[in-house]
Chains A and B, each alone.
Chain A
Amino acid sequence: MTSTARRLCTAATGAALLALALTSCGSGNDAGAGAATADESNAIPAPSGLDAAREYRSVREADPVADPVAVAIPAIDVDGPLTRTGIDDRELEVPDFGDMSWFESGTAPGDPGPAAILGHVDTRKGPDVFYRLHELEPGDSVVVDTADGESLEFVIDRVEQHDKDEFPTENVWLPGSEPRLHLITCGGEFDRSAGSYRDNVIAFATLNSS
Chain B
Amino acid sequence: MPRLSRMSLVALPAAGVMLLSACGGTGGTAAPVEPAAGTDGGGAAQTAGDLTAEDLRITLERQLGQHAMLAVEAMRAGVAGQDHFDAAAASLEKNTEDLTDSIGAVYGDEGAEKFNELWSNHIDFFVQYTTGVAEDDQEAQDEAIERLDQYREDFGGFLDGATEGELPQNAVADLLQDHVDQLVSQVDAYAAEDYAGAAEQTREAYAHMFGTAQGLTNAIVATQDGISGDPESPDVELRSDLGKLLGEHAQTAMQAMRAGVSGQDDFDAIAGALDANTRDLTGAISGVFGAEGGQAFMGMWADHIDFFVQYTVGLAEGDEQAKEEALQRLEQYREDFSQFLDGASDGSIPAEVVAEGLQKHVDDLVDQVDAFESGEYDSAYGSAYDAYNHMYGTAEALSGGIVDFMGGEMPAGGVETGGGGTTR
Let me know if A43 is at the binding interface, CB within 8 A.
Answer: no
Let me know if B261 is at the binding interface, CB within 8 A.
Answer: yes
On whether the beta carbons of A2 and B83 are closer than 8 Å, the reply is no
Chain A residues lying within 8 Å of B260, measured Cβ to Cβ, are: 34, 49-50, 52-53, 56
Bits for B85-120, please: 1 = Cβ < 8 Å to A, else 0.
110000000000000000000000000000000000
Kindly state the interface size class of chain B when it binds its partner: 35 or more
Classify the secondary structure of B's interface with A.
helix
Of all chain B residues, which has the CB nearest A27? B83
Contact among A61, A87, A120, A197 for B411, CB-based, below 8 A: A87
> Complex formed: what's the CA distance from A187 to B309 in Å?
55
Of all chain A residues, which has the CB nearest B295? A62
Contact among B283, B291, B419 for A177, CB-based, below 8 A: B283
Please tell me which stretch of B15-23, B129-137, B174-182, B328-336 contacts chain A, meaning at least 4 of its Cβ atoms lie within 8 angstroms of it: B129-137
On whether the beta carbons of A49 and B417 are closer than 8 Å, the reply is no
On whether the beta carbons of A31 and B417 are closer than 8 Å, the reply is no
Let me know if B222 is at the binding interface, CB within 8 A.
Answer: no
Please tell me which stretch of B34-42, B311-319, B353-361, B386-394 contacts chain A, meaning at least 4 of its Cβ atoms lie within 8 angstroms of it: B311-319
On whether the beta carbons of B418 and A28 are closer than 8 Å, the reply is no
Kindly state the interface size class of chain A when it binds its partner: 35 or more
On whether the beta carbons of B302 and A124 are closer than 8 Å, the reply is no
Let me know if A77 is at the binding interface, CB within 8 A.
Answer: no
Contact among A2, A53, A113, A131 for B267, CB-based, below 8 A: A53
On whether the beta carbons of B417 and A30 are closer than 8 Å, the reply is no
Chain B residues lying within 8 Å of A15, measured Cβ to Cβ, are: 134-136, 191
Chain B residues lying within 8 Å of A23, measured Cβ to Cβ, are: 262-263
> Complex formed: what's the CA distance from A119 to B419 in Å?
11
- Which residues 150-169 of A have a CB within 8 angstroms of B? 162-165, 167, 169
Let me know if A48 is at the binding interface, CB within 8 A.
Answer: yes
On whether the beta carbons of A92 and B415 are closer than 8 Å, the reply is yes
Chain B residues lying within 8 Å of A37, measured Cβ to Cβ, are: 317-318
Contact among A25, A59, A121, A163 for B418, CB-based, below 8 A: A121
> Complex formed: what's the CA distance from A30 to B319 in Å?
19
Let me know if B406 is at the binding interface, CB within 8 A.
Answer: yes
User: With A15-B136, A177-B280 known to touch, is A24 a contact of B294 (CB < 8 Å)?
Assistant: no
Chain B residues lying within 8 Å of A24, measured Cβ to Cβ, are: 80-83, 262
Q: List 30 A-B contacts (CB under 8 A).
A: A2-B7, A7-B1, A8-B79, A8-B81, A16-B192, A23-B263, A29-B374, A31-B372, A34-B263, A34-B264, A34-B316, A48-B263, A48-B267, A59-B279, A59-B302, A94-B417, A106-B287, A112-B284, A113-B284, A119-B417, A123-B419, A167-B413, A170-B406, A174-B402, A175-B238, A175-B288, A175-B402, A176-B238, A177-B241, A200-B414
User: 9 nearest interchain CB pairs?
Assistant: A47-B263, A164-B414, A12-B81, A113-B287, A186-B418, A175-B287, A9-B81, A53-B260, A29-B375
